A = this chain, B = another copy of it.
Amino acid sequence: MNASTSTQEYIASSAAEVEAALRESLPVNWNMPDKLREAMMYSLEAGGKRLRPTLVLTAAEAVRDDRRAWDAAMPVACAIEMIHTYSLIHDDLPAMDDDDFRRGKPTNHKVFGEGMAILAGDGLLTHAFYAVTQTAQRGVPPETALAIASDLALLAGVSGMVGGQAADLLGEQGLTTIEQLEYIHLRKTSDLILFSVTAGARVGGATPAQLEAVGEFARKLGLAFQVQDDILDLTGDESKLGKPVQSDVQQSKVTYPYLIGLEQSRELVQRLTMEAKQALAKADLARPDRLLAIADYLVSRDH
């Protein structure tokens, strides 16, 4: 078993734990319409690599090498997956990207209708903050839980992901500069990765200096991740990706390969990953190995 296989197995095993927690994240005794619950769970359970929650959990254990740090971080891991899932549901709507399929399954609004899809997204977004507040039941100090909630609102909100979505919606091929593209990528993708790593580190009890170093790691990694996504959309294997390739081209979306070419984009991914790993070395973590392995895995992934 080589290092990459071992990392894939680690991610798969973490994903299985996250999925078990997600299934219990909406209490069964809550009085809410069945259809709403069904719509939320449909997209929450639609799979994906659960990369963001795995980064939360891994960062918590990287700072404090103790299974209890992992367990305490689980509500935050669920929260970021709810945020990611809501953003996909809203992004797929006819008024946005108008996608009929996601991960090989019909998109939320194709199954439940547009109105319910909007509400399922609103519900997941709101419930993510509930999940964050639940860390206080797991021994996380209230001021830490509050800092995580504040980070989430900033990085998933108008100064983060929602801002990126809006810039993306406004942008059109030929009109977007490399600076605008970087803004869109940083906000749409990198900010959630930044949140995941930082929030996990907070649960683990990171010092301000550690938070700064893992933050730099996450920013570089997040941008590398998005550029790699752009590359895979152009060159990837449809059956592995679970979505049509070249959908960006068909939708006239501006991407890194479009702006700087495929080879330059590949070099950029390599450089950003190296810089990310260098930043992490400065954090003096109890257990950095898994974070480093995930960084390597992300550059070499083919889906």
Contacts and interface: CB of A to CB of B under 8 A. Distances in A.
B36 A158 contact: yes
Main secondary structure on chain A at its contact with chain B? helix
B90 A162 contact: no
Residue among A94, A132, A159 facing the most chain B CB atoms (10 A cut-off)? A159
Interface string A205-245: 00000000000000000000000000000000000000000
A40 B158 contact: yes
A178 interface: no
A32 B158 contact: yes
Interface string A68-106: 000000000000000000100010011110000000000
Given A153-B133, A163-B31, A126 B123 contact: no
Given A95-B114, A143-B142, A125 B123 contact: no
Interface stretch (A9-17, A166-174, A248-256, A276-284): A166-174
A266 interface: no
Interface in A96-121: 96, 113-119, 121
Interface in A133-166: 133-134, 136, 141-143, 145-147, 149-150, 152-154, 156-159, 162-163, 165-166
Contacts of A183: 31
A37 interface: yes
* A: contact size bracket: 35 or more
Contacts of A149: 129, 132-133, 146, 149
Copies in the assembly, this chain: 2
A154 to B, nearest CB: 6
A130 B154 contact: yes
A163 B40 CA distance: 12
Given A32-B158, A123-B158, A146-B146, A118 B93 contact: yes
A155 to B, nearest CB: 10
A290 interface: no
Nearest to A128: B153
A113 B142 CA distance: 40
A161 B40 CA distance: 15
4 closest residue pairs by CB, A with B: A95-B114, A130-B153, A126-B157, A133-B150
Given A31-B163, A116-B169, A146-B149, 7 more contacts: A32-B166, A33-B166, A95-B115, A123-B157, A123-B158, A123-B163, A126-B158
14 contacts: A30-B158, A31-B183, A35-B170, A94-B114, A119-B162, A119-B166, A123-B166, A127-B157, A127-B158, A129-B149, A130-B153, A134-B150, A136-B146, A142-B143
